[in-house]
């Protein structure tokens, strides 16, 4: 059976360095280094150095820490776990860590994406070759993780990513495309867990969202939206962001017309990944931000079944922290003395 895996074609850009001059009074929490294949390099995004998952993860680290964070990407075109070890990327990684430490900087986190090229290489192979390829990957991937651990030590966060399945198939059906992808992902999860690496598992969230988060069928790589979702998955594994978003909104709206306007503010210590309005009893638009940075949503209560209706603002950040804020809409026939009328 032919594997049409097409999991991330892994045509990487070369090594790149992204950094800006630090503020004079800033103390860096350490260097972030991304290694691996085209996932780490940001291929598929419109601007890999800014919108790839590693670059977006770097932005989240910087926002959360509030200080300068150097960032280096060492991605190599077509990298496998074996070529990562043999063809120079591992050596460059060692050199980068040494330079950072010689300069008085620690290593804040390392992210690693390897395995997609091995899957792609098996696309036209028969069952014996696939089984052999999986076992070869198991050995090489473990060796790559061990080498990275030796360089950074046991306490530096190491985050690995799994791979999504473009077929969105049933991974329990033996020897199907989805099944083989799951075998490789299982190796990634198991080997990473044995070495104290955190696992940013992107397989599950991408299932059902391939059309929205990848360029498939034109290209197998993640789109801008997909790279953002990977960055959020990576950030959740090590970001240490336990602060939920803050919503500043009324708890009650007295509506003297059918289409009141909701105005509110929502902020987060790092960044908002989702802001939505749930309106089970009325019609509403999703929040939009105006030129003053205030959020606005339009409500339509003309078909509300009762004089009081409920809606809920939901704000989530990249680390998965979520805040819910309930708002009651009360229908009134006129504005009472001392009250402000609804604003259009």
- Residues of the domain holding 161: 16-238
What pLDDT sits at residue 201?
96
Among 15-29, 30-44, 179-193, 225-239, which stretch is predicted with the lowest mean pLDDT? 15-29
Is 344 within the bounds of a domain? no
**Residue 334's pLDDT is what?**
56
For the chain, percent of residues with pLDDT exceeding 70: 89
* CB distance 160 to 116 below 8 Å: no
Mean pLDDT, rounded, of the chain: 88
The pLDDT tens digits of the residues spanning 19-38 come to 333 333 345 679 999 999 99
Q: Would you say residue 71 lies in a domain?
A: yes
Is the predicted pLDDT of residue 17 greater than 80, yes or no? no
164 in the same domain as 270: no
* pLDDT beyond 50 at 338: no
CATH number of the domain at 44, please: 3.40.50.1110
Q: Give me the mean pLDDT over the 1-24 stretch.
A: 34
How far from chain centre, in Å, is Cα 277?
A: 22
Judge whether residue 12 has pLDDT over 70. Answer: no
The tens digit of pLDDT for each residue in 129-153 reads 999 999 999 999 999 999 999 999 9
Residue 262 confidence class, pLDDT cut points 50, 70, 90? very high
Residue 8 confidence (pLDDT) above 80: no
A 10 A CB-CB count for 340 gives 7
Q: Count up the domains in the chain and report the number.
A: 2
pLDDT at 123: 83
Token pair of 49 as six digits? 């150095």
Q: What is the pLDDT, as a whole number, of residue 20?
A: 32
What integer pLDDT is reported at residue 74 of this predicted model?
98
For 248-267, what is the mean pLDDT? 93
Give me the pLDDT at residue 305, please: 81
Residues 148 and 283 in one domain: no
How far is it, in rounded angstroms, from Cα 185 to Cα 179?
10
Question: Which residue, of 208, 238, 268, is where some domain finishes?
Answer: 238
Is residue 211 domain-shared with residue 319, that is, in the same domain? no
Mean pLDDT of 313-341: 78
Domain end position, chosen among 238, 270, 296: 238
* Residues 168 and 304 grouped into a single domain: no
Rounded Cα distance, 318 and 254, in Å: 33
- Of 11-15, 118-122, 176-180, 334-338, the one with minimum mean pLDDT is 11-15
Beta-bridge partners for 296: 263, 288
H or E segment at 228?
helix 224-238
pTM for the full predicted model: 0.79
Same domain, 209 and 128: yes
Residue 290 lies in a domain: yes
């Amino acid at each position: 059976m032919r594997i049409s895996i097409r999991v991330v074609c892994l045509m990487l850009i070369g090594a790149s360095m992204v950094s800006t001059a630090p503020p004079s009074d800033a103390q860096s929490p350490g260097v972030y280094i991304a290694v691996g294949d085209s996932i780490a390099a940001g291929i598929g995004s419109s601007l890999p150095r800014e919108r790839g998952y590693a670059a977006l993860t770097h932005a989240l680290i910087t926002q959360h820490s509030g200080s300068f964070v150097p960032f280096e990407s060492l991605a190599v075109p077509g990298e496998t776990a074996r070529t990562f070890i043999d063809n120079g990327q591992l050596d460059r990684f060692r050199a980068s860590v040494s330079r950072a430490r010689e300069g008085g900087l620690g290593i804040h986190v390392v992210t690693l994406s390897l395995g997609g090229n091995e899957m792609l290489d098996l696309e036209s192979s028969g069952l014996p070759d696939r089984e052999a390829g999986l076992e070869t990957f198991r050995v090489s991937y473990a060796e790559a993780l061990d080498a990275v651990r030796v360089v950074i030590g046991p306490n530096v966060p190491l985050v690995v990513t799994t791979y999504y399945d473009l077929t969105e198939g049933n991974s329990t059906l033996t020897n199907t495309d989805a099944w083989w992808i799951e075998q490789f992902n299982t190796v990634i999860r198991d080997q990473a867990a044995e070495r104290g690496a955190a696992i940013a598992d992107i397989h599950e969230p991408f299932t059902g969202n391939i059309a929205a988060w990848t360029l498939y069928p034109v290209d197998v790589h993640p789109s801008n939206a997909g790279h953002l979702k990977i960055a959020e998955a990576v950030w959740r594994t090590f970001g240490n962001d336990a602060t939920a978003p803050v919503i500043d909104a009324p708890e009650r709206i007295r509506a003297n017309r059918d289409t009141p306007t909701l105005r509110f503010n929502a902020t987060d210590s790092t960044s908002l990944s989702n802001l939505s309005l749930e309106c089970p009893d009325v019609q509403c638009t999703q929040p939009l931000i105006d030129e003053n940075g205030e959020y606005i949503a339009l409500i339509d209560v003309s078909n509300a079944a009762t004089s009081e209706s409920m809606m809920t603002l939901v704000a989530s950040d990249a680390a998965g922290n979520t805040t819910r804020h309930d708002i009651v809409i009360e229908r009134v026939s006129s504005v009472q003395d001392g009250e402000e009328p609804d604003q259009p």
